[in-house]
């Protein structure tokens, strides 16, 4: 035992990194956040596409320690969330703990502590590492035939190129996930010429996004009335969206949800051909449901074209669809989603005896309860494999994860040891997750919630189960590794 205070490195200053910063501030733990961007915000800093907004109730998206009463709409526009995160970081003193424009490329456990190497070669060290690197972060851009021949500007939805003037341009959007739906709706409403390539139509929930009035904002600032209003909002949400259970469990609620979406679609879309293009064949809940107020309206405008069946190839002046028809395009947007298996990668991580994360995750990604990995000691993740992404508002999920991480860090701090989950406990947990898959809605279809081995990579139970399982802290599930003296520093390879 030594009196040296514990020093923790948080990687990422998005919602997760800021959430952990608050936990460490309260617990009196010394921390530094390394952020590759020049600002906080993570996904809300990176994503700036037209139409970006939160698609869960924004009140449930706030940090519990920094309530905000000034949202302009029930589902707030993205820039408001970004402003909120900057304000929170400034007002709670997180900024002075952040090393900006620093991408950590390597994290090596040397038996005593973590050696971190930034992409530009700078070195740092820490007793423990929290990877708060975000879940849907690494863009997935399909290598479609002829992709590199496209003559105009092209970019991924999460890296919008604002230098491109869209006026008078024919914009192609590939993808119909939440990003594609928000982009097409906004560009279409602005009167741009948009062609959306819909490989798999998806179920959409029509819901209004009203302004929050000044009176409501004032009432939300009063804790007593805010509580009543939040409870009312929650009841309204369940009334509109149905109980949460249908999203992860087959049953009558799911059938009802699907019938409602189908009815909304046929009421909204007059043209039978367009209706057919937009009618999903998949079960409701197979994929994340896109929520929209105006998409169906916009899809029927003369300036918007919906192309069914996906993209067969790309040519300098446009895209060829799966039926062989050519569509002239000047600007191409890939709203094609993210590599949901990347987690903190491409960062290279090496644990006990130099074992690499790449080797550990060679066949499939996995974790202990979404937060830790065997043989990678004193290294924790927010929203790692098996963490909730679908049903539990991010701050609520992070609160459970942070609690477990702090429980483990207390042992690390008290006993000056390195702690990692045992393989036995981790695989027991993974097998429980795996056994749950056939009982879930998303387990019945193809989506990014599962891997090729048939294991979900997301939490398959409800919110109460998340809180319960992560509140249980069994030291038997962990191995304690005595800290060794640091070996001679060696030159670290940079990727
Ligand atoms: P998603 O939800 O993963 O959607 C990606 C979309 O891109 C989806 O419609 C895909 O169709 C489509 N896609 C991917 N590859 C291709 C190719 N090769 N050809 C045609 N279409 C393709 O990503 P989002 O960014 O919209 O949303 C991610 C999350 O971010 C969202 O849930 C929010 O939490 C925020 P497919 O269905 O695979 O046929």
pLDDT tens for 329-358 read 999 999 999 999 999 999 999 999 999 999
Does pLDDT of 136 surpass 80? yes
Range 468-487 burial, b when 16+ CB lie within 10 A, else e: ebbeeeeeebbbebebeeee
User: Which pLDDT value is given to residue 57?
Assistant: 86
Does the beta carbon of 285 sit less than 6 angstroms from any atom of ligand 1?
no
- Residues 188-210, mean pLDDT to the nearest whole number: 96
Residue nearest to atom 31 of ligand 1 (CA): 178
Pocket test for ligand 1, best of 14, 289, 336 (most atoms within 8 A of CB): 336
d(CA 395, CA 258): 28
Q: For residue 180, how far is its CA from the centre of ligand 1 (angstroms)?
A: 7
Beta bridge partners of 372: 368, 380
Does pLDDT of 491 surpass 80? no
Cβ within 8 Å of residue 177, ≥6 positions away: 202, 287, 288, 290, 335, 337
Does pLDDT of 487 surpass 60? no
| Structure tokens belonging to residue 65 | 């320690």
Maximum Cα–Cα distance across the chain: 73
d(CA 371, CA 6): 19
User: Which pLDDT value is given to residue 485?
Assistant: 67
Mean per-residue pLDDT over the chain, rounded: 93
Does the beta carbon of 466 sit less than 6 angstroms from any atom of ligand 1?
no
| Structure tokens belonging to residue 428 | 């027991």
- Full-model pTM: 0.94
Residue nearest to atom 34 of ligand 1 (CA): 178
Does pLDDT of 493 surpass 50? no
Q: For residue 249, how far is its CA from the centre of ligand 1 (angstroms)?
A: 22
Query: If you count them, how many residues does the chain have?
Result: 495
Q: For residue 315, how far is its CA from the centre of ligand 1 (angstroms)?
A: 22
3 CB neighbour count, 10 Å cutoff: 5
Residue nearest to atom 15 of ligand 1 (CA): 336
Does pLDDT of 443 surpass 90? no
Which candidate, 137, 135, 105, places its Cα nearest to that of 122? 105
Q: For residue 282, how far is its CA from the centre of ligand 1 (angstroms)?
A: 15
User: Which pLDDT value is given to residue 495?
Assistant: 32
Q: For residue 135, how far is its CA from the centre of ligand 1 (angstroms)?
A: 15
Does the beta carbon of 351 sit less than 6 angstroms from any atom of ligand 1?
no
Contact call for residues 137 and 386 (beta carbons, < 8 A) = no
- For residue 181, the number of C-alpha atoms closer than 13 Å in the C-beta half-sphere is 24
414 CB neighbour count, 10 Å cutoff: 10
Does the beta carbon of 447 sit less than 6 angstroms from any atom of ligand 1?
no
Contact call for residues 319 and 332 (beta carbons, < 8 A) = yes
Q: For residue 280, how far is its CA from the centre of ligand 1 (angstroms)?
A: 14
User: Which pLDDT value is given to residue 489?
Assistant: 45
Which candidate, 373, 473, 387, places its Cα nearest to that of 421? 373
- Residues 363-372, mean pLDDT to the nearest whole number: 96
């Amino acid at each position: 035992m030594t009196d040296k205070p514990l020093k923790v490195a948080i990687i990422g200053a998005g919602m997760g990194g800021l959430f952990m910063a608050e936990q460490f501030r309260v617990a009196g733990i010394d921390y530094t956040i390394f952020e590759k961007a020049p600002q906080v915000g993570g996904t809300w800093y990176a994503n700036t596409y037209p139409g970006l907004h939160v698609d869960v109730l924004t009140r449930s998206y706030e940090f519990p320690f920094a309530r905000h009463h000034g949202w302009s709409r029930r589902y707030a526009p993205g820039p408001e969330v970004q402003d909120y995160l900057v304000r929170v970081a400034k007002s709670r003193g997180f900024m002075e703990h952040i090393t900006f424009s620093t991408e950590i490329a390597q994290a090596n456990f040397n038996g005593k502590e973590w050696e971190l190497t930034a992409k530009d070669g700078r070195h740092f060290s820490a007793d423990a590492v929290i990877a708060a690197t975000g879940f849907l972060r690494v863009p997935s851009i399909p290598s479609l035939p002829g992709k590199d021949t496209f003559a105009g500007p092209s970019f991924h939805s999460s890296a919008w190129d604002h230098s491109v003037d869209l006026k008078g341009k024919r914009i192609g959007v590939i993808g119909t996930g939440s990003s594609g739906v928000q982009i097409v709706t906004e560009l279409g409403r602005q009167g741009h010429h948009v062609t959306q390539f819909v490989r798999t139509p998806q179920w959409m929930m029509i819901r209004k996004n009203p302004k929050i009035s000044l009176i409501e904002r004032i009432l939300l600032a009063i804790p007593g009335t805010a509580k009543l209003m939040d409870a009312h909002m929650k009841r309204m949400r369940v009334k509109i969206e149905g109980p949460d259970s249908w999203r992860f469990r087959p049953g009558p609620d799911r059938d009802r949800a699907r019938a409602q979406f189908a009815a909304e679609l046929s009421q909204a879309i007059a043209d039978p051909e367009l209706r057919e293009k937009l009618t999903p064949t998949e079960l409701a809940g197979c994929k994340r449901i896109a929520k929209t107020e105006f998409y169906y309206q916009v899809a029927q405008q003369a300036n918007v074209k919906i192309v069914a069946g996906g993209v067969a190839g790309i040519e300098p002046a446009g895209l060829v669809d799966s039926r062989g028809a050519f569509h002239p395009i000047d600007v191409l947007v890939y709203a094609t989603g993210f590599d949901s298996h990347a987690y903190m990668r491409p960062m290279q991580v090496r644990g006990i005896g130099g074992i690499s994360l790449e080797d550990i995750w060679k066949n499939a990604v996995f974790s202990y309860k979404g937060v830790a990995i065997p043989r990678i000691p004193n290294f924790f993740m927010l929203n790692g494999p098996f963490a909730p992404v679908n049903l539990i508002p991010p701050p609520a999920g992070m609160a459970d994860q942070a609690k477990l991480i702090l429980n483990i860090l207390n042992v690390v701090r008290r006993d000056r040891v390195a702690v990692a989950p045992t393989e036995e406990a981790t695989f027991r947990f993974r097998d429980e997750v795996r056994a749950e898959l056939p009982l879930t809605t998303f387990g019945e279809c193809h989506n990014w919630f599962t891997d090729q081995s048939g294991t979900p990579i997301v939490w398959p139970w409800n919110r109460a189960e998340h809180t319960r399982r992560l509140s249980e802290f069994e030291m038997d599930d962990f191995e304690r590794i005595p800290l060794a003296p640091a070996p001679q520093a060696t030159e670290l390879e940079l990727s």
